[in-house]
Chains A and B, each alone.
Chain A
């Protein structure tokens, strides 16, 4: 289940940040490792909201620093 979520999160991240799939690891920091700027982060959250049909509020968005953070949030909140 969470492997599947990881792959889908990875796809959103790869599409949004135009990075190589091999660069996207669970521990990758969106900002430091994957070079996401503030607008990228907003677009990533929108992309994940659409992919998983979840609502990521501002507080949750702030707490998502790494790819694994996103996977964990979605595991907890996606229906």
Chain B
């Protein structure tokens, strides 16, 4: 096991949107940042690594894998810990949507979202916890969503998975607290990313009316909350969900 003293961060789905903003916010001098993605062709991969290097991040690496394969998730986490000697921060950000009104939603579309958006989070938390518990320190930040709390027509699968993430976060927070490992969630509202750009213009306009601050959020505004939860200043916060939604849900 090697170790160069770099604070080591893993962000899943870390080359686009909120994940990329989180990776950049957690990068910088003294940091080693790993990001995962599912598409080696994505221009986001090199863009993210360039941003991280420009921010003075000592080490950064993009890896193509998905955590729903728990054997792979465990092996990847072990690989990072072996390479760096530690894992300080895990940001479970990767997520996908397959929207459809529930009466027409297929078994496959429901199961797939739960698998990717909820099971993967569990699988990575479990793998990371082995090392964090032993180290007696660590920060886990899970991406939930405003729709876990408000519901959203057409997102029975996604809202259920994201509500699951919030519950999982609280239980893991209780289980790991005695070892100095904190587990929190961030629930973004309507953030300007590829995911929300796919929403039809009319629906998107209607959504804006529901946001008291009158605009979409920026990925960096979510990343700021994640960076705070990962910081030393947030050491007494665990089991919480921080809502970053322009007042859309209070």
Using CB atoms and an 8 Å cutoff, list the residues of chain A in contact with chain B.
37, 39, 43, 46
Report the bound CA distance from A37 to B176 in whole Å: 12
Report the bound CA distance from A39 to B176 in whole Å: 8
Residue numbers in B under 8 Å from A43 (CB-CB): 133-134
Report the bound CA distance from A67 to B175 in whole Å: 24
Q: How many A-B residue pairs have CB under 8 A?
A: 9
Q: Is the interface of B mostly helix, strand, loop or mixed?
A: helix
Q: Is the interface of A mostly helix, strand, loop or mixed?
A: helix
Asked whether any CB of chain A lies closer than 8 Å to the CB of B179, the reply is: yes
Pair A39/B130 contact, Cβ less than 8 Å: no
Within 8 A of A (CB), among B178-224: 178-179
Report the bound CA distance from A18 to B95 in whole Å: 40
Pair B178/A39 contact, Cβ less than 8 Å: yes
Beyond A39-B175, A43-B133, A43-B134: 4 further Cβ-contacts under 8 Å? A39-B176, A39-B178, A39-B179, A46-B130
- Identify the 9 closest CB pairs spanning chains A and B, nearest first: A43-B133, A46-B130, A39-B178, A39-B175, A39-B179, A43-B134, A39-B133, A37-B178, A39-B176
Most interface-central of B134, B175, B176, B179 (chain A CB within 10 A): B134
